[in-house]
Amino acid sequence: MSAPAPFVDSRQVRRNFARAAADYDAAAVLPREVGSRMLERLDYVRIEPRQVLDLGCGTGLSLTALSERYPKSLVLGADACEAMLLAGRRRRSKSRWLLPFLHKGNALVSADALALPFKPGSMELVWSNLMLHWLDDPLRAFREMHRVLDVGGLLMFSTLGPDTLKELRESFSDGHAHTQRFADMHDYGDMLLDCGFADPVMDVEVLTLTYTSLDDLFRDLRQNGAACAMQSRCHGLTGRSAWLSARAAYEKRARDGRLPATFEVVYGHAWKTQARKTPDGSAIVRFDPKQRLR
């Protein structure tokens, strides 16, 4: 039986980010803000990781902050887009931003989130900022994160929920996808449990960015590598009538001369504990050899 066709065009995702790599840092307002809010959440977590993985690190916006928070840790950055990694390395090495990071023995790795090149149990913290919604199957990525985490390790991530870019999605009526497919917060919680994570905590907040025109919104999405990469997107030019209709529908949402764009940010964290079941569903019973049977 053949596997179902993917919803997300992963090659297009990489192409979009490769095109945006050169100017990504200047445009990445939302990833930088969400990453900052994730870092604040670490203030309430007691953990001293030996190795940290920033999965979907892009140009490395979070690497310095993670390295400074955990100065004794080996911090690794991994991303599927080599152009993003190269752009980040070139830019920050010139400004000496990345030099302390690299001098500590940390590394940037080109890697697929669905097949990570790390040993089981090799990480104590996996961090992922706004990466999961670019994957066709986030569940497979969660399984990989669970595999590389050590027992007692923490997964902390952010992604985008279904209200993201709802204004844009609702303005088009041509039958094509114009935004990514975004999963619900509760679906992500179920995925975590399905992978064996314990005590998942999920929360959501809505951020609204505003633009002077629809063209500015599309330009911002392109510069962030965030243009639609669904298989069902329009693969040619949008027809004039469809474009004019969408523009008129969106402009009706203007307030004080600005067009709103909603971003539903989903935050989650969970711990890896001792497995209670084998992969086939059998229960695991552990005995303490030091305890005498009575």
- Give which of 124, 127, 59 is closest to 89, Cα–Cα: 59
Amino acid at 169: R
Domain of 186 in residue numbering reads as: 10-161+180-206+264-272
Contact 131, 159 (CB under 8 A): yes
Task: Give the C-alpha separation, 34 to 39, whole Å.
Answer: 9
State the pLDDT at residue 281. Answer: 56
Contact 106, 63 (CB under 8 A): yes
187, part of any domain: yes
Q: Which segment of 89-98, 114-123, 276-285 scores lowest on mean pLDDT?
A: 276-285
pLDDT tens per residue across span 156-191: 999 999 999 999 999 998 889 999 999 999 999 999
pLDDT-based confidence at 294, cuts 50/70/90? very low
Give the CA dihedral 207, 209, 29, 149, nearest 10 degrees.
Answer: 30
pLDDT above 80 for 275: no
pLDDT above 50 for 286: no
- Give which of 264, 271, 269 is closest to 34, Cα–Cα: 264
Mean pLDDT of the residues in the chain: 90
Contact 106, 73 (CB under 8 A): no
Question: Could you tell me the CATH number of the domain that includes residue 68?
Answer: 3.40.50.150
pLDDT-based confidence at 101, cuts 50/70/90? low
Pick 96 or 25 by higher pLDDT.
25
Burial class (CB in 10 A: 0-12, 13-18, 19+), 150: middle
State the pLDDT at residue 3. Answer: 59
- Give which of 132, 133, 26 is closest to 88, Cα–Cα: 26
246, part of any domain: no
Quick one: average pLDDT of 209-225?
96
Strand partners for 77: 54, 108
Q: How many CB atoms lie within 10 A of CB 135?
A: 24
108, part of any domain: yes
Strand partners for 277: 283
Domains contained in the chain, number: 1
137, part of any domain: yes
State the pLDDT at residue 293. Answer: 42
Pick 242 or 196 by higher pLDDT.
196
pLDDT tens per residue across span 9-31: 999 999 999 999 999 999 999 99
State the pLDDT at residue 163. Answer: 98
169, part of any domain: no
Q: CA dist 80 to 65, 119, 262, Å?
A: 21, 18, 27
State the pLDDT at residue 4. Answer: 67
